[in-house]
Structure formats: structure tokens, C-alpha cells
């Protein structure tokens, strides 16, 4: 019995994806729920599992293809599920990297490949080959089968350095590998009248972010208000309870307090927890409090969503948020983990930023920016005392929110943050 495995639903409003890599080859035996393809959308890279086990008899897509939901990815013979995995047929592997040329065949002007590279390329390696999405992309662009790239330990992931070394070892074999080395080497190219430059293509995440941010900035009338919040009390709570949270695998950061305070404040000011239906000329008020948190990753800005913040304690948020951020940096987020936000927080304080004006993440109508806290003298009870003040900035959509509404929102948020004992660690006093 043969089964056609089709690309499943990837998430709300996601109909298309790029094939970032194939994790199996024709002849391989797969188990139910085993990842067989890696796809890239405008938000994340995800490994898609197959629902049945068997032997792969046909693959109908290739790395780099644009495919839509419902596209047949591969065909599986379920009756052959007990058969051992077969080696990929010769025609499945690119001809150029089929074998590393002997040192004697390398032109005299080129350095000979190291002997150990030739030895390690023949070592058995588990399938699928482990590699980061960026390495898979580089291999795809250069027409290289990652199974042929030599590594000292066949069980560790193939790195960019391994791939570049392999490409260099193929210099002189064909014109294609030589061109591949030129395009992947970290050398500057003299193609600018004023000096050397390098070019880096934008990945799907950066392209989509650029497009979305440009649209938000062009269509939303932004206004930004600034405030300073005294977080001296928050620091005291963090020092007192940080160790207990750490033991549970979390981290009691300032962002955690901000999230909890925002959930409390948004309930008092529902206009900022809304979206604008511009065509229907109506404001849609959200009765749930899902807060997006901007995360800086090597592949671009991602915004995972912490759901139902109003129902979670500081302790729970302190455990959940670092895990979400880690998955964002590793590009392991599920698509649904980046959907459904009602308000967004972006914290640049850890990078030393003292103030900035964040861009609203439509269809939301407001976003809070958090900057670096600093000790400042504050006049209290007839004398100056040191207090830890944190600058915050609120950008809001002036079509929905008036300045007075935003001012009241900021005043209440400041009050909540300056009394952290009201945000119980475990939901009880």
C-alpha cells in the first residue's frame, strides 16, 4: 500500500513555504511521526513529520522549491516498513561531490586537501544528516549533498566550516565547485567604485519583517510617549526570589514583571488591547491577553507569543519566557507560537539602549519599548536618594487611541510596576 504524503496545514494564513531541506532519500525507511522535510516560511523553519511508516519510494519536491499546502512531498510504501534503509541511488546525489579527488589530481597552484578529509568522508553517518538551516541553504545553493561532506565525528552536525573546506577540496575538479568556493568564501569583492564590499541576500524572515514594518510605518499614524519607571522595588524582589525561580529552570527578568503588569493594565484600558478593522471602520476589543515579546535572533527579529498572561503567575512566566526565547533563537518555534498577540513588548535595555521609538506590530494598536535602567538621584522627603529608573516608551495608533488614553495607561502601568509586591510570584500572597 502506497501513501502520498502532502504538505499539511502550517498555520493560520500560511499557504506557502520553501523547501529548506530534505531529511530523507528514496529508499530510506521512515517511522511514523519522523521528520522528513524541513520547510521555511516567512516566520520560521519547521521540520514536518510523516504520519505513517514505510519506505520512501518517490520524492516529488527538491530543496529550494516553493510548495503550497496540499502539495505531494513524497510517496511511502507502507508494506515495506520493515525493510532496512537503502543507500540513496546514485542519481540522487549531485555528480560533482560524489568523491573527493586525490591530492595528485589537484593543480599545483592549489593546496592539496588534507589526508584526514579523504578518510573521514567515507565514515558512516546517520541519516538524516544534522546541520543548521543556514548550512543546508549554503549546500543547496552550491549543489552539494551534505552526506558527502567529511567530518571528524559523523554524529555531530555539519558546520559551515566543514562545508567550505569540502568545497575548497573540490577545486579543479569542475568549474562549478570552483565557482561555489568563490561565492561562499568570506572574501570581499571589488565591485564598488569606492572599495571592497560584500553582499548578503536577505532571508525569508528579514524580507517579511522589512515588508511588514514598512507597511506598519506607512499606514499607521504613530505617536510615542515616554516615561521613567522606578524599578528599585522590582530589583529587590528579583534578588529575593531569583534563586528559587532559577531552580525551576526559569529566569526572573524585568521583562517578566513588565508582562504581568501589562496584563493588569490592559484590563483597565481595553482600547490598547484591540485591533482596527479599517475596512469595516470598527475597533475589535480582545478579551484575552496574549503578549508578544520581540526576540533578537541570528536570522532576524521574531516575536513569540506568551498566551493568557493574565492567568499566569510571575513564577510561571519566568519559566515560560526563556524557553520561548530559546526556541526562537534556535528556529524551533511552532507557527502558532507566533500568532494571536494582542500587544507587543520589545526590550532593548540589555543592549544598553537608553530610549527608542518602537514601530507598532499591526494589527495591534500599541507596543511598549523598554530601555536600560540606571541609578538616578530622586528628591524624596527633603533629600536626594538613589533610585533605579527604567525608561519606557509607548507607541500607539492615533486612529484608535487618544493622547489622554495613552497618558492614563502609562500612569497606571508605572504605578503597578513600582509596587511589584502586588504581582504575586505564585498567584498567592
| pLDDT given at position 42 | 64
- Strands 295-297 and 195-197, sheet pairing: unpaired
Print the SS3 string covering 219-269: HCCEEEEEEEEECHHHHHHHHHHHHHHHHCCCCCCHHHHHHHHHHHHHHHC
CATH 3.30.559.10 intervals, the chain: 205-422
CB–CB of 216/361 below 8 Å?
yes
Cα 220 to Cα 228: distance, rounded to the nearest angstrom: 25
* pLDDT-flagged residues of the chain (< 70): 11-13, 42-44, 80-128, 133-134, 152-155, 170-192, 278, 280, 422-429
> Which candidate, 283, 295, 275, 276, places its Cα nearest to that of 338?
295
Could you please state the CATH topology (level 3) that the domain comprising 205-422 is classified under. Chloramphenicol Acetyltransferase (3.30.559)
Q: How far apart are CA 75 and CA 57, in angstroms?
A: 6
Half-sphere CA count of 3, side-chain side, radius 13 A:
17
Euclidean distance between CA atoms 225 and 268, whole angstroms: 19
- Domain(s) labelled CATH 2.40.50.100 in the chain stretch across 2-184
The Cα 373–Cα 254 span in angstroms is 10
Task: Report the pLDDT value the prediction gives residue 333, as an integer from 0 to 100.
Answer: 84
> Residue 215 contacts by C-beta under 8 Å, 6 or more apart in sequence?
362
Cα separation, 208 vs 217, in Å, equals: 14
Active site positions, annotated:
398
Shortest CA distance to 378 belongs to which of 337, 418, 428, 410? Answer: 418
Which among 33, 95, 24 has a CA at the least distance from the CA of 63? 24
Question: Which of the listed CATH numbers 2.40.50.100, 3.20.20.70, 2.102.10.10, 1.10.1040.10 matches domain 2-184?
Answer: 2.40.50.100
Residue 158 bridge partners (DSSP): 131
Cα gap 342→305, rounded to integer Å: 9
pLDDT at site 177 = 40
pTM (2 d.p.): 0.64
Cα dihedral 160, 161, 166, 167 sign: positive
pLDDT digits (tens, 9 = 90+) for 256-300: 999 999 999 999 999 999 998 867 589 999 999 999 999 998 878
| Grid cell listed for 395 | 507607541
Amino acid at each position: 500500500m502506497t501513501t502520498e504524503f502532502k504538505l499539511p496545514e502550517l498555520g493560520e494564513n500560511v499557504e506557502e513555504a520553501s523547501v529548506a531541506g530534505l531529511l530523507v532519500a528514496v529508499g530510506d525507511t521512515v517511522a511514523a511521526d519522523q521528520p522528513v522535510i524541513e520547510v521555511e516560511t516567512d516566520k520560521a523553519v519547521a521540520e514536518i513529520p510523516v504520519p505513517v511508516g514505510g519506505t520512501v519510494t518517490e520524492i516529488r519536491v527538491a530543496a529550494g522549491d516553493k510548495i503550497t499546502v496540499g502539495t505531494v512531498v513524497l510517496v511511502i510504501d507502507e508494506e515495506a516498513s520493515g525493510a532496512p534503509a537503502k543507500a540513496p541511488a546514485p542519481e540522487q546525489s549531485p555528480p560533482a561531490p560524489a568523491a573527493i579527488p586525490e591530492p595528485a589530481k589537484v593543480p599545483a597552484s592549489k593546496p592539496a586537501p588534507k589526508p584526514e578529509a579523504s578518510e573521514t568522508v567515507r565514515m558512516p553517518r546517520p541519516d538524516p544528516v544534522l546541520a543548521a538551516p543556514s548550512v543546508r541553504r549554503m549546500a543547496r545553493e552550491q549543489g552539494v549533498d551534505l552526506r558527502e561532506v567529511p567530518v571528524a565525528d559523523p554524529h555531530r552536525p555539519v558546520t559551515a566550516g566543514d562545508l567550505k573546506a569540502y568545497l575548497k577540496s573540490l577545486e579543479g575538479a569542475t568549474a562549478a565547485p570552483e565557482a561555489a568556493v568563490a561565492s561562499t568564501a568570506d572574501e570581499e569583492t571589488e565591485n564598488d567604485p569606492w572599495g571592497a564590499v560584500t553582499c548578503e541576500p536577505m532571508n525569508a524572515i528579514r524580507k517579511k519583517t522589512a515588508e511588514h514594518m514598512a507597511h506598519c510605518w506607512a499606514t499607521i499614524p504613530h505617536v510615542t510617549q515616554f516615561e521613567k519607571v522606578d524599578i528599585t522595588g522590582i530589583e529587590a524582589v528579583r534578588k529575593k526570589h531569583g534563586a528559587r525561580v532559577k531552580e525551576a529552570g526559569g529566569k526572573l527578568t524585568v521583562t517578566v514583571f513588565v508582562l504581568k503588569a501589562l496584563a493588569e493594565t490592559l484590563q483597565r484600558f481595553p482600547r490598547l488591547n484591540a485591533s482596527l478593522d479599517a475596512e469595516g471602520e470598527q475597533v475589535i476589543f480582545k478579551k484575552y491577553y496574549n503578549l508578544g515579546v520581540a526576540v533578537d535572533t541570528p536570522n532576524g527579529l521574531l516575536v513569540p507569543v506568551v498566551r493568557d498572561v493574565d492567568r499566569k503567575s510571575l513564577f510561571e512566566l519566568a519559566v515560560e519566557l526563556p524557553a520561548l526565547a530559546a526556541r526562537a533563537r534556535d528556529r524551533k518555534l511552532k507557527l502558532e507560537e507566533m500568532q494571536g498577540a494582542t500587544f507587543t513588548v520589545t526590550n532593548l535595555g540589555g543592549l544598553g539602549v537608553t530610549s527608542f521609538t518602537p514601530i507598532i506590530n499591526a494589527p495591534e494598536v500599541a507596543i511598549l519599548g523598554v530601555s536600560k535602567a540606571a541609578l538616578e538621584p530622586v528628591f524624596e522627603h527633603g533629600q536626594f536618594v538613589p533610585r533605579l529608573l527604567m525608561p519606557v516608551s509607548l507607541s500607539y495608533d492615533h486612529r484608535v487611541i487618544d493622547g489622554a488614553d495613552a497618558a492614563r495607561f502609562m500612569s497606571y502601568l508605572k504605578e503597578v510596576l513600582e509596587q511589584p509586591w502586588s504581582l504575586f510570584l505564585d498567584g498567592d500572597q
